[in-house]
Amino acid sequence: MRALARSALAIRPRAKPLVLTAWGLLALLMIARAGLYPAVMTGDEVWFAEAARNFIAHGIPQRLIHADAVGSSVADFLPPVIMLLQSASFLVFGLTPIGVAAPSAGVPLIVMVLVFFVARRAGASTAAAGFASVAIFGSQIFLRAGIYIRYEALVCAAFLAYLLATDQAERASGGRRTAWHFARGSLVAIAGLAYYPTAPFVGIAALLVEVWRWRAARPQASGLAALVLGFALPILPFALYVASYPQIFAAQILENGAQNYSGFELIRRFLDPALWRQSRDAVPEMLGLLLYFVLGFGLWARQSANQRLLLLLAAITALPALIYPFQPRLLALPMLLALVTLALWAEDQLGWLGRLAKAALLAEVAAAVMMAGIILVTILVQMDGRRYDRITAEIDGLLREPGPVAIDQRAWLAVRAAQPEREVHQVMAAGAADQVQIFESEILRDPSGGSHFQYLILNASDLGPTIAATPALKEAFAAGRFAVVARISPRFTPLPWAASPPYDLIVFQRRS
């Protein structure tokens, strides 16, 4: 780590203040945003937060909000790296908005710094590396992965850290070299455990890096042993955990993945306008990424060794976007590798390619500045509508009678923070994906299950479709078993990019 610090201090005097100032401003912006989080929690974030809360309390990740058909209330097998990070955040900040949001603020900032150092070590100038690092906040592809508690952002952080540790291992000697090899192995394992579907491709990419290194110098036995031991450190505890609940792991991960994660959706629906409309904000970047591959492989013979390796790594890690149900965030890691490559191209004497690379970096930095402005304006204008203290206070005051409560995901933090012992069931929003539906509460799937609940807290905007899609609620409302007791809707000023209020909750109570 001292060597990394020396590298930071070695940057040119004129560039150093600019890079550090940009990092500082972005850090302050992400921290400010985190204080207003969760403006809207996604289902995955609720599940990770719930598992983290129970891991701290019981030593086992559990989703006690889900007495479902796949054992989530006994053991939770969502990728454990996010849950552990969330647990650490709760230990530091408590069950608060900032406690939920700290990972989503911290991981993008870590990735920003890693992009800079990876680009610098690969041969980019301070200016080009600095532009590449700031540009990640202009990337809609990366922001989709990093702005929430998402799998792909942690994959990016771990894999970039692996590349940096690999370079460090080659520069170190003696015991330090062994320690860096150990760290490299652990980082590859962490990258795999951060998101199971991308794990094989991250592994293949890491194997390519190793082969690339071995072509230049034969590996030492001590380095290989340290690499294997480092890899085993995260993998063995996880393997023991899986061995304790093999049927639950199979149901939650293997069977669910086999049914839902081999759709080749991008290939099948390439000409379907609906596919692109749902990702329209990321389409320019996806086209840019395609151009990156065309130019990179088309000019293969003119590329340096580092540039060729980055191209291959980006191509390998882009494959999940072709295989799985398509989400732009699956391209987050190849997008970051492309930014590093652009920083290298900007330094090359390749004429038009260098100019094109500089223009692309400047465009992404301009997008980052625009995104920072959007976040800042949103914070200033919508602060009252995004603060969670009122939500917590109102819900706590309304839930006076004992008994279970079924909630929309936006109410999770308020209920858990104010009344941690209350029995909670999460209602799946209408239109939830198939791979999510298996985690719905068994009670909510039962048409007679509505009488189990004392309270319901549902989101106003999708109230009708959600009730219709939930057997227990559909039957209960048809029988008139619940009455409205309150609507929680803080004052909200709409903006063109944030027109819907993050909180508009209706609280129902079971009729006597």
| pLDDT at res. 1 | 41
pLDDT, tens digit, for every residue of 348-372?
A: 755 788 899 999 999 999 999 999 9
| pLDDT at res. 39 | 53
pLDDT, tens digit, for every residue of 397-444?
A: 999 999 999 999 889 988 998 898 899 999 988 877 777 888 889 999
Structural contact between residues 391 and 503, judged by C-beta atoms closer than 8 angstroms: yes
Per-residue b/e over 327-336, b at no fewer than 16 CB within 10 Å?
Answer: bbbbbbbbbb
When computed from its CA atoms, the radius of gyration of the chain, rounded to whole angstroms, is: 24
3-state secondary structure of 481: coil
| pLDDT at res. 16 | 75
| pLDDT at res. 501 | 87
Pairing of strands 424-426, 455-459: unpaired
Comparing C-alpha atoms, which of 328, 223, 222 is closest to residue 265?
328
pLDDT-derived band at 20, boundaries 50, 70, 90 = confident
| pLDDT at res. 385 | 85
**Is the pLDDT at 5 greater than 60, yes or no?**
no
Q: What residues have CB less than 8 Å from 9, skipping those under 6 apart? A: none
Q: Where are the domains of the chain?
A: 12-41+79-240+259-378, 389-510
pLDDT, tens digit, for every residue of 212-251?
A: 988 877 778 888 999 999 999 999 999 999 999 999 999 9
pLDDT, tens digit, for every residue of 44-60?
A: 788 899 999 999 999 99
| pLDDT at res. 350 | 58
| pLDDT at res. 112 | 95
Residue 40 to residue 62: CA distance in whole angstroms: 22
| pLDDT at res. 28 | 86
- Rounded to an integer, the average pLDDT of 147-166 is 91
Q: Mean pLDDT over all residues of the chain?
A: 89
Residue 439 to residue 187: CA distance in whole angstroms: 30
Give this prediction's pTM: 0.92
Residue 268 to residue 271: CA distance in whole angstroms: 8
pLDDT, tens digit, for every residue of 318-333?
A: 999 999 988 899 999 9
pLDDT-derived band at 100, boundaries 50, 70, 90 = confident
| Omega within 30 of 0 (cis) for the link into 38 | yes
For 222, other C-beta atoms within 10 Å of its C-beta total 13
| pLDDT at res. 3 | 47
pLDDT, tens digit, for every residue of 283-300?
A: 999 999 999 999 999 999
The token pair at 398 is: 């309304």
Q: What residues have CB less than 8 Å from 340, skipping those under 6 apart? A: 115, 118, 119, 122, 124, 132, 310
